[in-house]
Amino acid sequence: MNSKYEAVIGLEVHAQLLTDTKIFCGCSAKFGAPPNTNVCPVCLGHPGVLPVMNKKVVEFTVLMGLAAECKINERSIFARKNYFYPDLPKGYQISQYEEPICQYGKITIEFKDGLKKDIGITRIHMEEDAGKSIHDQGYTTMIDVNRCGTPLMEIVSEPDMRSAEEAYLYLTKLKQILTYLGICDGNMEEGSLRCDANISVRLKGETKFGTKTEVKNMNSFRNVEKAIEFEIERQIDIIEEGGKIIQQTLLWDADSNVVKPMRSKEEAHDYRYFPDPDLMPVVVDKKWKSEIASSMPELPDARKERFTNQYLLPKYDAEVLTSSRELADYYEKVLTVTNDYKSASNWIMTDVLKVINDEKISINEFPVSAENLGRLIMLINDNVISGKIAKEIFPEMLKTNKEPNEIVKEKNLVQISDTGEIEMAVDKILSANPKQVEEYLSGKDKVLGFFVGLIMKETKGKANPQIVNELLKSKLGRLKGK
Ligand code: ADP
Ligand code: MG
Ligand code: ZN
C-alpha cells in the first residue's frame, strides 16, 4: 500500500440467530429444509396477519450487546424498511432504525505481537431476513421463502479499522464471541454470518474521512481480507491518477479476485423507513436485563486469561485452546482425568488439532473422547507406557476410541520398568557392539544414543527410557573405571 495513504474501514455484520423459530411467527428457523416448507401467513406477509415478537431474539441481542459493552436501550422500536424484491413478499423488511436496542459498545482486537485496539460498536439491532432468489437454474429464477422472517442481528462498527488485517481480526473476534454465547454458528460459507465492508482512503494526517464504497458478497474471512485489500488499492490508484471516488456498492468476485459495481438499479434505494404499527416497542427493564446478564457465559478473553493463571499455560497455548468454546471445553474435560495441564495442552495443540485440520472436522466430531485422552496421559505419567508407545496407541484410539489401557493390554505394550529385564537387554547390546563401546570409552559420548536406540528396539520400544539411560550410564561408567 502507498505509504502516503491510510485506509478507513467500518463493518456491518449480519448474524443469523440460533433460535428454534422465526422472529415474528412460530415457523422453524432451521437451515436446509426443502424450499418453501417453513412458511405461514405471517412470514409470507399476507394481509391482516399480526407479527408476534420472539422473546429469544431480544435476549440473544441483549446478550451480544452486553458482551460488546453496549448501552442497552430500555425502549427500542421496530421499523419497516420498504423495498420491492421478489424474495420479499411483504414488500418491506422489519428492522430497527432510529431506536435500536443496543448502542455505543466496543470489541477489543489483539494483534499477533500482543498489542490491543478497541473497535467501537455504533449499534446492534434486530431484524428479519428476506427470502432467497436462486438464479442459477437456466432462464428461470427460483424463489425460496423459507428464510423470510429468520432472525438476524446486525452489528455496525464505527469506522475505526485501518487495515484489512484489523478487519479480519475484528471479524474473527466477533465470531468467537457469537459462538461462545451460542447465539450464532458464525458460518460465513453458509451465510449465517455476513459482512459488508465500508471502505475509504485518505492521506495520512487528514482528519476528514474520504468518500466510502461498500463491498458485499464475501463468503469467507479470507475473502473479506482480500476484498478490502483490493478495494484500498483500487481507490488509491484512482486518487493518484487525479480521479474521484464515487460512493457505490461493489460486489466481490471470488473467482477473479476483483470487485465489480452492482447494477445501479439494484442500488437505488429509498427505503421510506417508518415505525411498524403492528409491533409494540420492545421494553427491556432492569430486571430482565440483569436476568439476561446472569446467563452470560465466560467470554473468550476472560477464559484465555484464566487458562494462563489457573493452568499456568503459556499465552500461546491459552490462545489456541480458547479459540473456540468447544475446544476449551474439550481441554477442560481432559483435565477432569489428569491434572498434567501442559501435557494435555501439548497433545491437543499437536496431535488433536492436526487430525482436526487434516480431516476438516470440528472438535465435536473428533473420535477420541476427552476422557480417553486424559487416561492416555495418565498412563505415561504413571510409567505404564512410554511417550513413544503413547504416540503409537493414539492412532489406534482414533480408529476405535477404545480406552487406552485396553489397547495397551491387547497389544501387550506395558512399559518394562523391571530393572532385571532391562539390564539383560543392556548387556546383550553392549557385548554385541564392542567397537562402539571402545569408542564411548575413548570419549565419544555420542554413541550413547546409538545404544539407547538398539536397546529400545530390543525391547520393542517398551523399556522405560529413563531406566535404560541410567543403567547404560552406570554400566559404561564401570567399564571406564576398569
Ligand atoms: P450508510 O448511511 O451509507 O449506511 P453509515 O453511516 O450507516 O452509512 O455507516 C455504515 C458503515 O460504514 C458503518 O460501519 C460506518 O462505520 C462505516 N463508515 C461510515 N463512513 C465511512 C467512511 N468514510 N469510510 C469507511 N467507513 C465508513
Ligand atoms: Mg447504514
Ligand atoms: Zn411463519
Distance 457 CA to ligand 3 centre (A): 68
Question: Does residue 436 line the site of ligand 1, with CB under 6 A?
Answer: no
Question: Does residue 96 line the site of ligand 1, with CB under 6 A?
Answer: no
pLDDT at 396 over 90: yes
State the pLDDT at residue 267. Answer: 62
Q: Using pLDDT thresholds of 50, 70 and 90, give the confidence band for residue 411.
A: confident
Return the higher-pLDDT residue of 57 and 271: 57
Specify the ligand 1 atom closest to the Cα of 198: 26
Q: Which of these three, 239, 258, 291, is where a domain ends?
A: 291
Residues 121 and 189 in one domain: yes
C-alpha cell belonging to residue 84: 420491492
β-pair type (140-144, 132-137): antiparallel
Q: How many residues does the chain have?
A: 482
State the pLDDT at residue 482. Answer: 64
Angle between helical axes of 465-481 and 434-441 (0-180°, round to 10): 70
CA separation for the pair 439, 450 (Å, rounded)? 11
Residues 275 and 323 in one domain: no
Backbone Cα Rg of the chain: 30
Question: Does residue 74 line the site of ligand 1, with CB under 6 A?
Answer: no
Ligand nearest to the CA of 214: 1
Residues 212 and 88 in one domain: yes
Angle at alpha carbon of residue 345, lines to 342 and 350, rounded to 5°: 125
Question: Does residue 209 line the site of ligand 1, with CB under 6 A?
Answer: yes
Cα diameter, the chain:
105
Residue (of 369, 330, 10, 324) closest to 156 by Cα position: 10
Q: Residue 173 is part of which domain span?
A: 5-291
Q: Which of these three, 240, 271, 291, is where a domain ends?
A: 291
Pocket test for ligand 1, best of 11, 195, 198, 270 (most atoms within 8 A of CB): 198
CA separation for the pair 97, 431 (Å, rounded)? 87
Ligand nearest to the CA of 95: 2
Q: Number of folded domains in the chain?
A: 3
- What's the pLDDT tens digit per position in 57-103? 999 999 999 999 999 999 999 999 999 989 999 999 999 999 999 99
Residues 179 and 104 in one domain: yes
Span 244-273, average pLDDT: 86
Residues 320 and 266 in one domain: no
C-alpha cell belonging to residue 302: 476472560
pLDDT at 464 over 90: no
Span 197-204, average pLDDT: 97
Q: Which of these three, 350, 375, 410, is where a domain ends?
A: 410
| Backbone φ, ψ for residue 14 (5° rounding) | -105, 125
